[in-house]
Amino acid sequence: MLKEKAEINPELDALLGSALQENGDDSSSDESTPSPATEGSTLASDLMKLCGESRPRKARRRTTTQMELLYASSGDLSCESPTGDFSAPLLPLAERVEALADLQGQALGQTPDREQTVSPSALSARPAGISGCRSPTGRQPERSPLNRRRMQDKGPASHIPAPAPHVSTAETKTKASDYKSLLDESPVFEGHRGVINPVTAPKNSRGAKLQCVYIAEGHTKPVLCVDATDDLLFTGSKDRTCKVWNLVTGQEIMSLADHPSSVVSVRYTSSLVFTVSTAYIKVWDIRDSAKCIRTLTSSGQVGSGDTCSSVRSLTIPPGESQINHIALNPSGSFLYAAAGNAVRMWDLRKFVSTGKLTGHVGPVTCLTVEKLGNGQDVVLTGSKDHHIKMFEVAEGAQGSIGSGHTFDPAHQDGVESLAVHGDIFYSSSRDHYIKKWDLASKQLLQSVSAQADWVSALGVVPGSSVLLSGCRGGLLRLWHTDSLAPLGEVQGHDSPINGLASNSSQLFTASDDRTVKIWEAKGSLDDGVH
């Protein structure tokens, strides 16, 4: 081997020749003369330096392993290769991610859990000896009993397919991109589409007056809000997306992504979708494709296009406040956004903020808008300060507008939901009570206890005199709109119900279980109730 290298390296050739001459002349030997072992070691060290090697090696392999390519030398932070005898240049990030996905799939037979994933930046600076580097025997380091128990408790990560043993280049790139999404903590993968599936009613529930007929599945985290027309369904989730579904075909049409955090409120009007995340409202034109045309902020600023796509944080920017809820007036010309203790008004014909509704001393958590005969918008707001206020907004009104009325007696805890039915409206609170109010006289008409848990969503069943409530326990309850007499209940979800919406014939409930259930009334819901 040395002779082969000497043929192409004159300096090495000279040193090798000199060494051979010295080794051949061993006529004298005393205490000052280095021993053959020491001399050989010095010679080997010199030769290794010339060959670019830092220490002796048994043999040099001509091929590299995946682990060597993945964790190649990177200064002092290199990861030892399986046999400790090879170093290679660091691979580009995309190739390292592909190699990592393949290796994890082969080693575990599935995608690793979150405890064993690493960030892309950590791949290029992984200290030797940490978990993930192979031992000299080529085996994975043994997990501690605690780690094994965590793996068993968590179970396999079922939402990412394990790499197949033999896949095409295109398939490998898709799996690598999926794995990179996991490293980036992005829960929604490219090409992941939801579907609305029909539900067959269990035999013991076929006589129920309210039945779940479809279930929309596709979000990877809790669904927080929902809106619907007769043809379209809109769902906002903690996975930072808003999905648009076709209720006719039962397919997800598009996914509106790149939100800073959870999508907490969504509304639709005439081809525009409004989605809320932290202090931003993104305005989407969905006529051709999912395109964000404006970004509105809680402070009243307007940005052209998507100005918050690079923001991924729960931190609210200085001067801004968390937007909890939005509502449109019946004509779709004005948007009202509950931001902090106030409600900001937006003229959608010009995309400008015209003012604020003020008066609450706690964050506004919910609101609803109706229109009076004189053209005024009537805005009802519920707050964490336990109060419900009414604002009358005249056409063209600007600036700060105070409340026209505060409804008493107040709830005993934060107000969670409001629903209007003709001249009556209903409110629900964390105090477990549902209250019925008269809009004309502004008086409390009735108050009933929802008992089990606080009511998080209210809505009126289409074409009937029935109020539907959803609570944190996942229970749906039916109430007569006139008497608030209980008409029955159904276990809608096993997790909290976060939102409720309706179109002309169906009801939609959004839950922490990552689904939206679609309900239909079977027969008359208020039979026998007077």
Domain total for the chain? 2
CA-based max dimension of the chain: 124
Q: What region, left, alpha or beta, does residue 454 occupy, with left being phi > 0 and alpha being psi -120 to 50 degrees?
A: beta
Residue 27: pLDDT band with limits 50, 70, 90? very low
C-alpha of 226 from chain center: 16
In a domain, 300, yes or no: yes
Same domain, residue pair 178 and 223: no
Q: At what angle do helices 169-183 and 93-108 cross, to 10 degrees?
A: 90
In a domain, 33, yes or no: no
Boundary (domain end) residue, out of 132, 153, 185: 185
In a domain, 226, yes or no: yes
| pLDDT score recorded for residue 15 | 66
Strand order in 265-269's β-sheet?
265-269, 272-277, 280-285, 291-297, 302-304
Same domain, residue pair 223 and 175: no
In a domain, 245, yes or no: yes
| pLDDT score recorded for residue 94 | 46
Q: Is the predicted pLDDT of residue 287 greater than 70, yes or no? A: yes
Same domain, residue pair 323 and 464: yes
Tell me the three state secondary structure of residue 157: coil
Query: Across 161-264, where does the E strand assignment appear?
Result: 195-198, 210-217, 223-228, 232-237, 242-246, 251-256
Same domain, residue pair 178 and 254: no
The tokens 């780690």 sit on which residue? 147
Same domain, residue pair 411 and 452: yes
CB-based contacts of 82: which residues, under 8 Å, 6+ apart?
65, 67, 68, 134, 135, 136, 137, 138
In a domain, 510, yes or no: yes
Residue 106 DSSP one-character state: H
Section 392-414 average pLDDT: 93
What is the gyration radius of the CA atoms in the chain, in angstroms? Answer: 33
Residue 463: pLDDT band with limits 50, 70, 90? confident
Per-chain mean pLDDT for the chain: 75
Full residue range of the structural domain in which residue 101 is found: 93-120+166-185
In a domain, 207, yes or no: yes
| pLDDT score recorded for residue 136 | 38
The CATH number linked to 241 is: 2.130.10.10
Same domain, residue pair 200 and 112: no
* Whether this model's pTM surpasses 0.85: no
Residue type at position 522: K
Same domain, residue pair 176 and 241: no
Q: Is the predicted pLDDT of residue 199 greater than 70, yes or no? A: yes
In a domain, 25, yes or no: no
In a domain, 125, yes or no: no
Same domain, residue pair 418 and 476: yes
Structure tokens of 285? Answer: 């034109």
DSSP assignment of 50-68? HTT-SS--S---SS--HHH
CB-based contacts of 95: which residues, under 8 Å, 6+ apart?
69
Contact indicator for 341, 317 with CB cutoff of 8 Å: no
Section 135-155 average pLDDT: 40
Same domain, residue pair 172 and 275: no
Q: Is the predicted pLDDT of residue 48 greater than 90, yes or no? A: no
Same domain, residue pair 180 and 273: no
Same domain, residue pair 172 and 244: no
| pLDDT score recorded for residue 439 | 92
Structure tokens of 4? Answer: 């082969």
Rounded distance, CA 483 to CA 187, Å?
Answer: 45
Contact indicator for 221, 187 with CB cutoff of 8 Å: yes
The predicted-structure confidence for 222-249, as pLDDT tens digits, reads as follows: 999 999 999 999 999 999 999 999 999 9
The predicted-structure confidence for 85-121, as pLDDT tens digits, reads as follows: 333 344 444 444 444 445 445 544 443 333 333 333 3
Residue type at position 95: E
| pLDDT score recorded for residue 389 | 97
The predicted-structure confidence for 261-271, as pLDDT tens digits, reads as follows: 999 999 999 88
Residue type at position 96: R
Burial class (CB in 10 A: 0-12, 13-18, 19+), 421: middle
CA nearest to 347, candidates 289, 410, 302: 302
| Cis peptide bond prior to 496, omega within 30° of 0 | no
DSSP assignment of 214-234? EEEE--SS-EEEEEE-SSEEE
The predicted-structure confidence for 334-391, as pLDDT tens digits, reads as follows: 999 999 999 999 999 999 999 999 999 999 999 999 987 677 899 999 999 999 999 9
Boundary (domain end) residue, out of 136, 152, 185: 185
Give pairs for 98-105: CB < 8 Å, separation 24+.
98/172, 98/173, 98/175, 98/176, 99/66, 99/69, 99/70, 100/70, 100/179, 101/163, 101/175, 101/176, 101/178, 101/179, 102/66, 102/163, 102/172, 103/66, 103/67, 103/70, 104/179, 105/162, 105/163, 105/175
Same domain, residue pair 314 and 446: yes
CB-based contacts of 463: which residues, under 8 Å, 6+ apart?
504, 505, 521
Contact indicator for 224, 239 with CB cutoff of 8 Å: no
